[in-house]
Structure 1
Amino acid sequence: MRRYINIMGNGHKKVSASALLLVATSTVMACSQPDTSVSNSTQTEPTLATKSAQIEQPQPQMMSVSANSGTGSTILQNVSATVYKDANCGCCKEWVGYAEGHGLSATAQDVTDLSLFKERYGVPQQMRSCHTTVTTNGYVFEGHVPAKYMAQFLANPPTDSIGLAVPSMPVGSPGMEYQDKFMPYKVMQLNKDGSTQVYAAIESPAQQM
């Protein structure tokens, strides 16, 4: 019986030693495995950031300067509005500065899906631009609308209208200034039934003042 116990004891020691060796080996192997989740994250994030930076890089003709932002005009001093825009839109920021320079009390709100707000406030697809401004009394001003026409519209809103729009981003419009370049454009009236009509035709920079 004593010999049997010794044999079992020795066997137990051998099993324990083997088990410890196996655990130690497994631990070393596990620690040496690359963390694929961290590695993939590290590789993916810079790639996405790089692509995003390339996509969002403004083209030369879209660069703007806030030449009109410090005019001291007060034609929008009693108007408050929320400006829905993309966080990376430079010309949107320029337009907000321009409008504030004319007295607008603006709250800029960065959103990920601008189309939701354009649909909510009734901006037709062909009238859309880079940002959507909504006043506290519900009127919509889409894109780079000159302060002059915002004030004119708000002073006497046409029947069944919901606001004004400057489609796309015309070079030379407020917030889209680039050197001395200017592209004639139209300020469009937006109506409740979805129709549009010309509110003002801008043929020169002087007409924006």
Structure 2
Amino acid sequence: MRRYTNTFVNGHNLMSGRVLLLMVTSSLMLAACSQPNTNTAAGEPKPATEASIATQTVLAEQLTAEMIPASAHSDTQSTILQNISATVYKDANCGCCKEWVGYAQGHGLNASAQNVEDVSLFKERYSVPQQMRSCHTTVTTDGYVFEGHVPAKYMAQFLENPPSDAIGLAVPSMPVGSPGMEYQDQFMPYKVMQLNKDGSTAIYATIESPQQQI
């Protein structure tokens, strides 16, 4: 019994450590993608400190060992969004936002990217709940909202037959391995959430592998 208990505890601790690493990494990437450029009083970009560089290096090494290996990317090209036009509201300094726009265009989306000073204003305008927010907000010409790194597959599926009570879909935060968030062939399971007109949310799809994004 003692051996079984120790095995369970150790396994639980290992899994908790992996989940924590994934959460920390996703949060760090969100901050890196969405944080505006900060300048010094002299107008020059503020350099990264040695401590911050060292911390990022350690996290990268840990992630390589701890994250879930992915056997496929979500970057296969298609034309499933070829008849859809949308505006993507993003921060000018957000690299992963740019990656997602390129990904969506690769699937046929006619996307017009607009760099804005405060993306939260557009999230409020289009009724994206606080807990569902990510780095960029995409709005189609029909007024449907797609928050964050939503796979093209589910955008097309939603737009083909929009639920009557829904305003769009969201992928909260920035899951590693989602479209535009690829990182060293690693993948973090996540959920695509349905945003409803009354402010409520529901699970639209559960993504447990990279293949489900294609």
Look up the equivalent residue of 2:149 and give its one-letter code: H
Q: 1:119 to 1:73 in 2, by over 3 A?
A: same
Kindly report which structure 2 residues correspond to 1:6-155, keeping only aligned pairs within 5 A, or say none.
Answer: 44-46=42-44, 49-50=45-46, 68-69=74-75, 71-155=76-160
For 1:44, the aligned partner's letter is A
Distance in 1 (alpha carbons) for counterparts of 2:140 and 2:200: 21
| Corresponding residue number in structure 1 for 2:179 | 174
SS at 1:45 equivalent:
coil
Structure 2: how far apart are the matches of 1:198 and 1:148?
Answer: 16
SS at structure 1 position matched to 2:46? helix
Paired residues of 2:74 and 2:210 also in contact (CA < 8 A): no
CA RMSD in angstroms, aligned pairs only = 2.1
Structure 1 residues without counterparts, runs of 5 or longer: 1-41
Q: TM-score, normalised by structure 1?
A: 0.71
Q: How does 1:156-167 map to 2 (within 5 A)?
A: 156-167=161-172
Q: Does 1:186 align with 2:191?
A: yes
Distance change >3 Å, CA 85–CA 123, structure 1 → 2: same
* Pairwise CA distance, 1:180: 1.5
* Aligned-pair CA distance for 1:68: 4.8
| Separation in 2, partners of 1:117, 1:205 | 29
Q: Distance in 1 between matches of 2:129 and 2:41?
A: 40
1:191 is displaced (CA, Å) by 0.3
CA contact (8 A) 1:68 1:101 kept: no
**1:72-116 CA distances to partner (integer Å, 9 max, x unpaired)?**
300000000000000000000000000000000000000000110
RCO (CA 8 Å, sep 6+): is it higher in 1 or 2? 2
CA contact (8 A) 2:89 2:137 kept: yes
If the length of structure 2 is used for normalisation, what is the TM-score?
Answer: 0.69
- What amino acid does structure 1 have at the position aligned with 2:116? V
| Bigger-Rg structure (1/2) | 1
Letter in 1 for 2:205: A
CA distance in 2, matches of 1:196, 1:93: 26
Shift of 1:44: 2.1
**Which stretches of structure 1, 4 residues or longer, exceed 2 Å deviation after superposition?**
59-62
Q: CA deviation at 1:179?
A: 1.2
Identity among equivalent positions (%) equals 78
User: How many residue pairs align between the two structures?
Assistant: 157
**SS of residue matched to 1:44:** coil
